[in-house]
């Protein structure tokens, strides 16, 4: 609807008058702006973090999260004590959710789960998606990303009669400084790994950074380091995931619809790694998820050791390109040049 000139003014005046009569100004509901994730221009360094991840608001206020990265995230509020669902069910890429997803603008009071779908900056779009949640009643609520286990935060919803400790510009500054610090950490990881020698490749490097008691943030270098290596026929090449929180794959040839399990031509080693032999540049080999062991917690069954290593022997010369099937949209790709 288009309103022009005096018409606009009249509508505005009526609304302002109505609001002034009905509601004290201090009780007007606010919409707070937070950020879900941040990335470097080349997408290789990812802050898997809510920026910031602790916020105080009034009951009745809303929070709008913006998703400005090419890495996927969700904004999810599980109910207290709810078992965390896996990110994806039988179909890779389709979110399990609450189960199910709830629409933009949903309300959360702790009684029913709320979650966005998977949100990311599409390849050809420049406007990041957003997701808003309204918090009608007081409480302390955890919010998480279902895709990244160590990406969590807390919202403190207080009674409107209470003063809030911070205004929006405080959170804006926090988001900026946390983003800068996390992405700088990833630069440091890249620099350190440049010193690595030999035929070993880091399949991603990361760290979990917990700055406050309110949640955890992760920073990940979504790269194979080194991106191109040169070996001889018969030399074993080993990929090791150095990320404590993120799954990666080493995938040659055709990308499988579900990259989670290893392909049938991959076998286990006695020391808990996976291995394969590649005979030709047309071979398709998928490591399956290289995954760290999850954090142990009291009163839960301890987790198994992670599978973080993949070894490949090349039986013929050639140039072998591969990808991480989870993060190829971030340009997580590599090449092995095999000489006779």
The site for Cu ion (CB under 5 A) is made up of 248, 324, 326-327, 332
Q: How far apart are CA 322 and CA 44, in angstroms?
A: 16
As measured in angstroms, the least distance from the Cβ of 303 to Cu ion is 20
Q: Please identify, using beta-carbon distances, which residue of 70 and 248 lies nearer to Cu ion.
A: 248
Q: Please identify, using beta-carbon distances, which residue of 120 and 326 lies nearer to Cu ion.
A: 326
Q: Please identify, using beta-carbon distances, which residue of 101 and 326 lies nearer to Cu ion.
A: 326
As measured in angstroms, the least distance from the Cβ of 186 to Cu ion is 14
Q: How far apart are CA 142 and CA 136, in angstroms?
A: 15
As measured in angstroms, the least distance from the Cβ of 220 to Cu ion is 8
For residue 118, count CB atoms less than 10 angstroms from its CB and return exposed for 0-12, middle for 13-18, buried for 19 or more: buried
Three-state DSSP state, 33 = strand
Q: Please identify, using beta-carbon distances, which residue of 135 and 320 lies nearer to Cu ion.
A: 320
- Cβ(66)–Cβ(238) below 8 Å: no
Q: Please identify, using beta-carbon distances, which residue of 174 and 207 lies nearer to Cu ion.
A: 207
Edge to edge, the sheet with strand 318-323 lists: 228-232, 333-339, 318-323, 251-252, 285-286
Q: Please identify, using beta-carbon distances, which residue of 208 and 324 lies nearer to Cu ion.
A: 324
As measured in angstroms, the least distance from the Cβ of 321 to Cu ion is 15
Q: How far apart are CA 221 and CA 48, in angstroms?
A: 10
As measured in angstroms, the least distance from the Cβ of 294 to Cu ion is 17
- Cβ(158)–Cβ(56) below 8 Å: yes
Residues 6+ away with beta carbon under 8 Å from 66 = 33, 34, 35, 36, 128, 129, 130
As measured in angstroms, the least distance from the Cβ of 243 to Cu ion is 8
């Amino acid at each position: 609807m288009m309103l022009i000139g005096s018409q606009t003014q009249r509508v505005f005046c009526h609304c302002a008058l109505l609001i002034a009569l009905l509601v004290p100004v201090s009780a007007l509901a606010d919409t707070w702006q937070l950020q879900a994730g941040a990335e470097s221009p080349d997408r290789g360094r990812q802050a898997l973090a809510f920026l910031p991840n602790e916020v105080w608001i009034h009951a009745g206020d809303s929070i709008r999260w913006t998703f400005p990265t090419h890495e996927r995230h969700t904004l999810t509020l599980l109910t207290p004590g709810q078992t965390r669902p896996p990110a994806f069910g039988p179909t890779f890429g389709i979110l399990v959710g609450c189960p199910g997803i709830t629409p933009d603008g949903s309300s959360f009071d702790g009684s029913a789960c709320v979650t966005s779908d998977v949100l990311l900056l599409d390849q050809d779009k420049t406007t990041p998606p957003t997701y808003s949640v309204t918090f009608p009643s007081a409480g302390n609520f955890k919010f998480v990303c279902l895709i990244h286990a160590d990406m969590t935060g807390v919202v403190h919803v207080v009674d409107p009669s209470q003063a809030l400790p911070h205004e929006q510009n405080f959170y804006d500054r926090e988001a900026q400084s946390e983003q800068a610090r996390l992405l700088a950490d990833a630069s440091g990881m890249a620099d350190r790994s440049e010193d690595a020698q030999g035929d070993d490749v880091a399949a991603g490097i990361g760290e979990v950074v917990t700055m406050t008691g309110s949640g955890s943030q992760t920073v990940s270098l979504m790269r194979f380091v080194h991106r191109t290596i040169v070996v001889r026929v018969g030399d074993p090449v080993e990929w090791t995931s150095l990320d404590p929180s993120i799954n990666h794959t080493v995938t040659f040839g055709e990308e499988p619809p579900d990259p989670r399990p290893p392909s049938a031509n991959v076998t286990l080693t006695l020391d808990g790694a996976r291995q394969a032999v590649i005979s030709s540049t047309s071979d398709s080999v998928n490591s399956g998820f290289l995954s760290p062991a999850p954090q142990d917690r009291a009163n839960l069954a301890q987790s198994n050791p992670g599978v973080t290593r993949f070894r490949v022997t090349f039986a013929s010369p050639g140039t072998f390109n591969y990808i991480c099937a989870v993060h190829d949209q971030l340009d997580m790709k590599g090449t092995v040049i095999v000489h006779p």
